[in-house]
Amino acid sequence: MGLTNQSCGRALISQKFNISFNKEDFIIALAGNPNVGKSTVFNGLTGLNQHTGNWPGKTVATARGSYTHKDKKFILVDLPGTYSLFANSAEEQIARDFICFGNPDATIIVADATCLERNLNLALQVMELTDKVILCLNLMDEADKKGISIDIKQLEKELGIPVIPTAARKKLGLRALMDATYDVASKIKKPTPRKISYGNAIESEIQKIIPYLEKKLNNKLDPRWVALRLLEGDTTLLDSINAFLYENNSPLAYKEVAYAHEC
């Protein structure tokens, strides 16, 4: 059977992530480090239209909410706050799996303007996974108080994605964020995220694996990104790939994977 539309993308969102939606609704993921005001942004966008639940099979709580902008309904999924997508913890794995396999129409990364550098680490990692990214530069008011100013235009150019300054606690910039999300989700604007170059040694290894992965992944995942994770020795990703993309295919494979992990 291989990869079909049924086994990944939007069908997965309802099956695997317990999110119900209409076909024409946009699914938006909200990612970010802890303590950057992600929940405030979430609340500011969705108001009272939200509910919380658990990720299936995990005890990590999640909030979902919705808002309507320009006659489109947006389903907002609040991912757990993480510093990276390296899958060191259940939270990181969930955030990665959702962006990776849930195939949201856009991903908003909420970043703390008072410590941009640290927040960019996560942003760069998300940008490797998907092109449809918006950076919400939150806590601009606090940055201002601390005398930190950020060249938004320059940052947009460097990252290749829309950057929206906000102060969610004061409800500033949220409308611009909705506009930008609308543009990206409805493909009016196509971000071209900057890709990191990892140096010759790693790049040549990537090139060796990519042809194989291209065949395997059948355009469902970015082969370069998967290659990088394999080079890192990240085995949780293979679990997730098998679980999300091949699940109905062959139960034997699942056993093999489990066996391989015991070794």
Partner 1 sequence: MNVNPVLNPSQPMTESEIKIGYDYPEHLKDEIVSAIYQEAQGIAQKVVSINKKKAKDWDAILDGILTSRITGYPIMFLLLGAVFWITISGANVPSSLLAAFFFKIEDYLTYLFTSLSAPEWLHGILVLGVYRTLAWVVSVMLPPMAIFFPCFTLLEDFGYLPRVAFNLDRLFKKAGAHGKQSLTMSMGFGCNAAGVIACRIIESPRERLIAMLTNSFVPCNGRFPTLLLIASIFMGGAVASQYRTLTASFVVSSLVLVGILITLIVSWGLSKTLLKGIPSSFTLELPPYRKPQIGKIIYRSIIDRTIFVLGRAVVIAAPAGLIIWLMANIHIGSQSLLAHGATLLQPLGHLIGLDGYILMAFILGLPANEIVLPILMMSYMAEGAMLELDSLQEIANLFIANGWTGLTALNVMLFSLLHFPCGTTLWTLRKESGSFRWAVFGALMPTCIAILVCFLTTQIYRLFI
Of 51 and 261, CB closest to partner 1: 261
| Contact characters 126-165, partner 1, x per CB under 8 A | ----------------x---xxxxxxx-xx--xx------
Among 84, 124, 131, 126, residue whose Cα is nearest residue 105: 131
Residue type, 259: Y
Centre a 10 Å sphere on the Cβ of residue 254 and count the other Cβ atoms it contains.
15
CB of 248 to partner 1, least distance (A): 11
Q: Both tokens of residue 82?
A: 């993480």
Distance, CA of 139 to CA of 170 (rounded, Å): 9
CB of 246 to partner 1, least distance (A): 4
Of 46 and 119, CB closest to partner 1: 119
Residue in 39, 121, 131, 169 binding partner 1, rule: CB under 8 A: 121
Of 56 and 211, CB closest to partner 1: 211
CB 154 within 8 A of CB 67: no
Centre a 10 Å sphere on the Cβ of residue 188 and count the other Cβ atoms it contains.
9
CB of 38 to partner 1, least distance (A): 13
Q: Establish if 58 lies at the interface with partner 1 (CB under 8 A).
A: no
Q: Establish if 205 lies at the interface with partner 1 (CB under 8 A).
A: yes
Distance, CA of 193 to CA of 127 (rounded, Å): 6
CB 107 within 8 A of CB 184: no
Distance, CA of 160 to CA of 170 (rounded, Å): 27
Among 168, 167, 140, 142, residue whose Cα is nearest residue 155: 140
CB of 175 to partner 1, least distance (A): 23
Please report, for residues 85, 87, 160, 208, 254, the alpha-carbon distance to residue 236 in angstroms, rounded to integers and kept in the order given: 12, 7, 29, 22, 13
CB of 113 to partner 1, least distance (A): 9
Residue in 1, 22, 200, 219 binding partner 1, rule: CB under 8 A: 1
Q: Establish if 57 lies at the interface with partner 1 (CB under 8 A).
A: no
Q: Both tokens of residue 137?
A: 């530069």
Q: Pick the stretch among 48-56, 64-72, 181-189, 229-237 that binds partner 1 (CB under 8 A).
A: 229-237
Among 237, 242, 31, 252, residue whose Cα is nearest residue 120: 31
Q: Establish if 116 lies at the interface with partner 1 (CB under 8 A).
A: yes
Q: Establish if 39 lies at the interface with partner 1 (CB under 8 A).
A: no
Residues forming contacts to partner 1 in the complex (CB under 8 A) are: 1-3, 34-35, 83, 86, 88-89, 116-118, 120-121, 123-125, 142, 146-152, 154-155, 158-159, 194, 196-199, 201-202, 205, 208-209, 211-212, 215-216, 218, 228-235, 238, 241-242, 246, 249-250, 253-254, 256-257, 259-261
